[in-house]
Amino acid sequence: MVIPYGNPDPCVSFDLFASFCMSLSKLCLALLTSTAVPFAASSQQTRSDFAAAVDRIFARFSTQNSPGCAVGVSRNGSTIVTRAYGSANLEYGIPNTTETIFESRSVAKQFTAAAIILLAQQGKLSLDDPIRKLLPELPEYASRVTIRHMLNHTSGLRDWGTVASAGGWPRGLRSHTMAHALGISRRQKALNYPPGTEYLYSNTNFTLAALIAERVSGMSFAEFMRTRFFVPLGMKNSRWRDDFTRVVRGRATAYSVAVDGPHIDMPNENVIGHAGLLTTIADLLIWNENFTNPKVGGRAFVDEMERRGRLLNGREIDYSAGLDVSRYRGVPRIYHTGSTAGYRAFLARYPEQRLSIAILCNAGNAGPEPLGNQVADVFLGGALATPASVDSVTGITLSDEEMTTVAGMYRNVRTAEPLRLAARGSSRVNGLTMSLGRVRALHFERN
């Protein structure tokens, strides 16, 4: 049984489980957009009003016995709220502050894309270059993969972490390096799909992009980013985790949160580009401001960063160069989320309102996008469209027999990743996890 979601293949049937998935995704979206603290922005509100509203959102992290988050909000280039919650280190009782350093996980992708685009502006590469021109170790695929394909996640390159896990060495159990990631990519003789025909999120795209930046610039990726972006922009507390054993003063320890309490959960790999950026909320707000008043790269740089990908069939996707260019409740939004080990991150711009929001957490149970959306609700106020209520979402009711029919183990026919769907009681489903921010098309078949 093949199960399409989002943009189904016309050659396969849209069956009962597909309808269920669509209903579930709408329900999740309604829940994400209907949980905000009721606090509409107005000209009469003071910074203390805004801070109090943000405090309510993060109240569950306001304890010294829990890891937490740091939050920063700017409007028109000026910071209007910075708050911090919970502990940076539970063993020593060190609190998070607005200057605490966290890891931003996939928020780092836009930084890697920026390096590539800056090199393209300097004439050192073209976004339409085939990647084998710069990474000749890779196999010669049936169709040409370009740098632009990688930045848009339309390359078809298999995710190196998924392949490593299938080989018995999942991330977290082995200290992977850039050489490991490249080696895994080099041994993949085929792609998930012909380049440019589909969108599929893959960390390999940005890991290899960082390697390309190193080879073209003749510098380490960390040094290139430091000299070309961090120093010129004044991002004094940003660096790359290219050696996970290096001591970083002021960095929060990351924790996963289990039934028996928090557990240390730190990244233990030296692979960067797709992730690995250590930074603060203040530095992220500075970074966002460069898209409005570009000191590095100019307007052409910003336009290329925000240029949405286009598939070979002409369909435009939301993903650009390490950024999701879409809307939140009717308001244009350019953003990305991130999660690695126990770190969580959210960075968004709302260009029409000149608003930026940065959230960094060391709590694995912090949902970056729901938290970011709630903060956005506070500051965007009347600009937001009314969210759909849960009651207004069209759903489906499954009989016990139908539940038994759809329950089981599925695999993604492109990536071979497993998904378990289990029925428990009448008309109830558990075991299905969906990432609404990144998943554009799921194709699963029953094993």
What's the pLDDT tens digit per position in 263-300? 999 999 999 999 999 999 999 999 999 999 999 999 99
Cα–Cα nearest to 323, from 72, 103, 151, 76: 151
Kindly state the average pLDDT of the residues 114-132. 98
* Cβ 242 vs Cβ 175: under 8 Å: no
Domains in the chain, start-ordered, CATH in brackets?
2-34+390-446 (no CATH), 102-383 (3.40.710.10)
- Phi, psi values for residue 400, rounded to 5°: -60, -40
- pLDDT of the residue at 153: 98
Q: Is the pLDDT of residue 223 over 80?
A: yes
What pTM was computed for the model?
Answer: 0.84
Kindly state the average pLDDT of the residues 223-236. 98
* Cβ 371 vs Cβ 130: under 8 Å: no
Q: Is the pLDDT of residue 106 over 90?
A: yes
Name residue 422's beta-bridge partners. 430
| Per-residue model confidence as pLDDT tens digits over 359-412 | 999 999 999 999 999 999 999 988 999 876 545 555 566 777 777 777 787 877
- pLDDT of the residue at 29: 46
Q: Which long-range contacts does 7-12 make (Cβ < 8 Å, 24+ apart)?
A: 7/440, 7/441, 8/441, 9/443
* Cβ 224 vs Cβ 213: under 8 Å: yes
Kindly state the average pLDDT of the residues 111-129. 98
Q: Is the pLDDT of residue 439 over 70?
A: no
For residue 426, give the amino acid letter. S
Question: What percentage of the chain exceeds 90 in pLDDT?
Answer: 72
- pLDDT of the residue at 80: 97
Question: What percentage of the chain exceeds 70 in pLDDT?
Answer: 81
Cβ within 8 Å of residue 122, ≥6 positions away? none
Kindly state the average pLDDT of the residues 306-321. 97
- pLDDT of the residue at 2: 33
- pLDDT of the residue at 410: 81
Q: Residue 158 burial (CB < 10 Å; 0-12/13-18/19+)?
A: buried
- pLDDT of the residue at 84: 98
- pLDDT of the residue at 17: 42
Say which range, 16-25, 38-47, 97-106, 318-327, has the weakest mean pLDDT: 16-25
More confident residue, 205 or 393: 205
* Cβ 360 vs Cβ 281: under 8 Å: yes
Kindly state the average pLDDT of the residues 170-192. 92
State the Cα–Cα distance between residues 4 and 19, nearest whole angstrom: 9
CA 240, 242, 248, 252 torsion-angle sign: positive
Say which range, 4-8, 85-89, 177-181, 370-374, has the weakest mean pLDDT: 4-8
Say which range, 69-73, 77-81, 435-439, has the weakest mean pLDDT: 435-439
- pLDDT of the residue at 40: 44
Mean pLDDT of the chain: 86
